[in-house]
Amino acid sequence: MIWQNWLLVMILLSSLVPGLIIFSLAESRHGLRTTLNLFGAITKMVLVMIMIVGIHQGKSFAVHLVLLPGLELVLRADLLSALFVALSSILWLFTTIYAIAYLEDSPNRSHFFGYFSLCVTVTIGIALAGNLLTFLFFFEMLTLSTYPLVVHRGTTEALAAGRVYLIYTLAGGFCLFLGVVWLHVLVGPVDFSREGVLSPLVESHGQTLRIIFFLLIAGVGVKAALFPLHGWLPRAMVAPAPVSALLHAVAVVKAGAFGIIRVVLDVYGLQTAKGLGLLMPLMLLASVTIVYGAIYALKQDNLKHRLAFSTVSQVSYIALGISIGHPLAIMGGMAHLVHQGLMKITLFFCAGNIAEILGVHHISRMNGVGRRLPLTMAAFTLAAMGMIGLPPMAGFVSKWYLGLGAIAQGQGWLIGVLVLSSLLNAAYFLPILYGAWFKEPEGEWPADSGTVGPVESHWMLIVPPVVTALIVLLVGLLANSGLSPLAWVRLIINARYGL
């Protein structure tokens, strides 16, 4: 049916069109801009829901556009892309609400929200990409649409951070580009739906395939902040809080992690990747990144920097799950794609609130914040406990499956990595929680903006973190129900590996 094919295009347009209109709006058109933003976000949610229901009923969605003979842009919704699309579109709604309140009265809002919408459009494009070329296409565009957001503040520091961001991501982009072209020359168009297209070449072109794998992983690894390609991430923290939230939970880092999943599972295929011996190095790299990020997070006093290094560490769980190669571990990794997104966006919302409402940026100044901002800190606490992996929170579920998969694969030592990282997570989150709830505030807050209405501040600042925190809780509690992300991931694994 025709509408099925247009649905994917409409999902993209639902954020692109409002974005383009917003670009042309005058700064003062606050109401119209907000309406457009929310309209786009809600439309996208509805369309995505229609799509997911459709996929569940076994309908297929695909759109093709021929760029060159033999070179096609393909948008296709499979189970895995539905997972990422759902995550991005839900979190985009919350981030939009939050950003509208957060950026109240700051300059250049039309510009900001224009790129914001563009960024989400491109992320959805990455999620829906049906072949490697389409993935590359949107992946490169992501760099360009996020850069203006990173430098939005326009300070010298922001511009320097933007420069570092561009250098890392563009260099990664060229690696990816070269890898894609090379693979294309070798085997023709690489469609995600035809797994195992590379397996006949393992014997004859093993070395070439390894180099290409390295190029592809280097390309997506920059965005996924794999050690040692993570240097841009902490610096990019100069961006406004909603941008950090978007970067870490929805768009850039997630797109990188999603790319790792695609490259390993859909381009190479698990068997081919194993046969070429590619998973072990990736596993080691992921493990190192997990521990390294956690240790560095411990050293930071700036709250956003600590969260940034925490992202470096946590996102590598996804890469770890994939590289273990056991269906259970892959399940844990994919589930973490969603879980980490939910938890991290909550944390960034809260960090943004603490900075915006109280002017507090450093952990050492956070004593007693819980009394001034109880709702925010409650959300923060839930998300942090999820990050640590305390049952029954979301993080626990992913770690549980990672561990199961590691043991089933005979890589028991990874349990050590998981435990170590959980301990480190606890070490860098618990003092914050303790200080915020149980210590006395040290005098006045640096810049208290006062209470607005019945809650701590503007409701649009408070509702998003509270809701996402509740989702974190529910996702963990109801992990076994049919509606949880885990259930969807189980569907993916079942379809692929017949668990």
Partner 1 sequence: MMGLQLQSDCWLIWPVILPLSAALVAFLAKGQPRLSGLTGALLTALASGTLFLKVVNHGGGSYDLGGWQPPLGISLRGDGPAVLMVLMTAVTGLAISVYAGGYFQSRIAMGGKGRRHIVQERFFWPLWLLLWGALNGLFLSADIFNMYVTLELVALSSVGLTALSGKPASQVAAMRYLLASLLGSLSFLLGVAFLYKTHGSLDLATIQAALALSPPVALAMALISVGLMLKCALFPFHFWLAPAHANALAPVSAILSGLVIKGGWYLFFRFWQGFLPLVGDGVVVVLAGLGGAAIIWGAFQAFCQQRLKMLVAYSTVAQIGYLFIIFPLLAIGAGQGAAAVFYFAISHSCAKAALFLAAGSIFLQMGHDRINNLDGVRQILPITTFAFALAGLSLMGLPPTGGFIAKYMYLSLAVSQDSWWLVLVMVVGSCLTAIYICRAVSHVLSPRMVAGRSQVVVGASMEWSALALALVAILLGFIAPLPLGLFEVVG
User: Between residues 136 and 237, which has the closer beta carbon with respect to partner 1?
Assistant: 136
- By CB under 8 A, tell whether 140 contacts partner 1: yes
Its sign, for the CA torsion 125, 129, 132, 133, is negative
Question: Which of the ranges 132-140, 242-250, 390-398, 459-467 carries the binding residues for partner 1, by CB under 8 A?
Answer: 132-140
User: Between residues 107 and 446, which has the closer beta carbon with respect to partner 1?
Assistant: 107
- Residue 114: HSE in the Cβ half-sphere, 13 Å Cα cutoff: 15
Q: Pick the binder of partner 1 from 148, 242, 368, 403 (CB under 8 A).
A: 148
Instruction: Report whether 350 contacts 380 (CB < 8 A).
Output: yes
User: Between residues 177 and 292, which has the closer beta carbon with respect to partner 1?
Assistant: 177
Report d(CA 22, CA 114) in Å as an integer. 5
- By CB under 8 A, tell whether 144 contacts partner 1: yes
| Beta strand extents in 399-450 (DSSP E only) | none
Q: Least Å distance between CB 56 and partner 1?
A: 31
Report d(CA 284, CA 264) in Å as an integer. 15
User: Between residues 60 and 208, which has the closer beta carbon with respect to partner 1?
Assistant: 208
User: Between residues 67 and 408, which has the closer beta carbon with respect to partner 1?
Assistant: 67
Q: Which residues contact 129 (CB under 8 A, 6 or more apart)?
A: 74, 75, 76, 81, 135, 137, 138, 192, 262
- By CB under 8 A, tell whether 31 contacts partner 1: no
Q: Pick the binder of partner 1 from 10, 178, 427, 463 (CB under 8 A).
A: 178
Q: Least Å distance between CB 332 and partner 1?
A: 33
Report d(CA 154, CA 148) in Å as an integer. 9
Q: Least Å distance between CB 243 and partner 1?
A: 13
- By CB under 8 A, tell whether 164 contacts partner 1: no
- By CB under 8 A, tell whether 18 contacts partner 1: no
User: Between residues 211 and 478, which has the closer beta carbon with respect to partner 1?
Assistant: 211
User: Between residues 144 and 452, which has the closer beta carbon with respect to partner 1?
Assistant: 144
Paired tokens of 441 = 């505030």
Report d(CA 362, CA 359) in Å as an integer. 9
- By CB under 8 A, tell whether 177 contacts partner 1: yes
- By CB under 8 A, tell whether 20 contacts partner 1: no
In three-state form (DSSP H/G/I as H, E/B as E, the rest C), the secondary structure along 44-97 is HHHHHHHHHHHHHCCCCEEEEEEEECCEEEEEEECHHHHHHHHHHHHHHHHHHH
Report d(CA 399, CA 488) in Å as an integer. 17
Instruction: Report whether 458 contacts 356 (CB < 8 A).
Output: no
User: Between residues 114 and 389, which has the closer beta carbon with respect to partner 1?
Assistant: 114
In the region spanning residues 39 to 98, those forming contacts with partner 1, defined by CB under 8 A, are 65-69, 71
- By CB under 8 A, tell whether 202 contacts partner 1: no
Count of residues that interact with partner 1, criterion CB under 8 A: 36
Helix axes 413-438, 303-324, angle to 10 degrees: 160
Instruction: Report whether 60 contacts 82 (CB < 8 A).
Output: no
Which residues contact partner 1 (rule: CB under 8 A)? 65-69, 71, 107-108, 111, 136-138, 140-141, 143-144, 148, 151-154, 159, 162-163, 166-167, 170-171, 173-174, 177-178, 181-182, 184-185
